[in-house]
Amino acid sequence: MEDNKINYRKIITLITFIIIVVVVVVYFKLYDISNVERIVESYGKLAPIIFLLLCIIRPIILLPIGLFSVLGGLLFGSLKGTIYTVVGSTIGSIIAYYLARYWGRKWVESLLNGKFKKIDSKFREKGFTVTFLMRVIPILPCDVVSYICGLSDIDILKYSAGTIIGIIPGTFVYSNFGSSLHNIYSSQFILSIVFLILLSILPLIIKKFYKKDLKEEVGIEFEDNKTEDNKNL
């Protein structure tokens, strides 16, 4: 009976949380990145703090990290933009991890059996590697990864370390691109485009050379398009 009360209470708090998130996003028009830019700039010297706070809540309200990274570079430059975005997004990702753990971990545990139990075990054993790879390789949206890790048995320290190190490369590339937009004829802009191209092909390189290792070591499996095509035939 007590478990039912706890579950019922969690459902109510989850619904309330979702409603609050929707209201905040719509009221402040956080879905409009140009409006977010105006909000941040309106605070003058406090702009870095406001941007950092927005980066903290960003993973919770599921806004794209790439756009915030670009905005950080546009407003504060490549280095500061990267630092603010990484720090804020990491804190926000940890909060998202704990929210998922509070609302869904017991439910996930009740479903764990067979293959899913093995996957959960892999997540626990290879927590840092799994988190790092899912951050570097865009298998899933960045914030979906946060909630999945919270539902899994990944240790918070391994998750945090994997998150910080995993999001730095992409955040820097996008922040550098945002910074370069001040002068699209500069060498920085050209270099930022090169970085974006390299970042986009990185998953293909990892898939080509480490596909088997990823499946065996950490349970990450890529879809084989050729196999799927053959099945469809």
Note the pLDDT tens digit of each residue in 91-119.
999 999 999 888 877 776 666 565 566 77
**Cα 13 to Cα 6: distance, rounded to the nearest angstrom:** 11
Say whether pLDDT at 77 is over 80. Answer: yes
Q: Does residue 231 lie in a domain region?
A: no
- Give residue 62's pLDDT: 78
Contact 127, 162 (CB under 8 A): yes
Q: Could you tell me the pLDDT band of residue 231, with boundaries at 50, 70 and 90?
A: very low
Q: Does residue 233 lie in a domain region?
A: no
Q: Does residue 227 lie in a domain region?
A: no
**Residue range(s) defining the domain that contains residue 88:** 2-220
- Give residue 126's pLDDT: 85
Say whether pLDDT at 17 is over 60. Answer: yes
How does pLDDT run across 135-153, given as a tens digit for each residue? 887 777 888 899 989 888 8
Question: How many domains does the chain fold into?
Answer: 1
Q: Whole-model pTM? A: 0.82
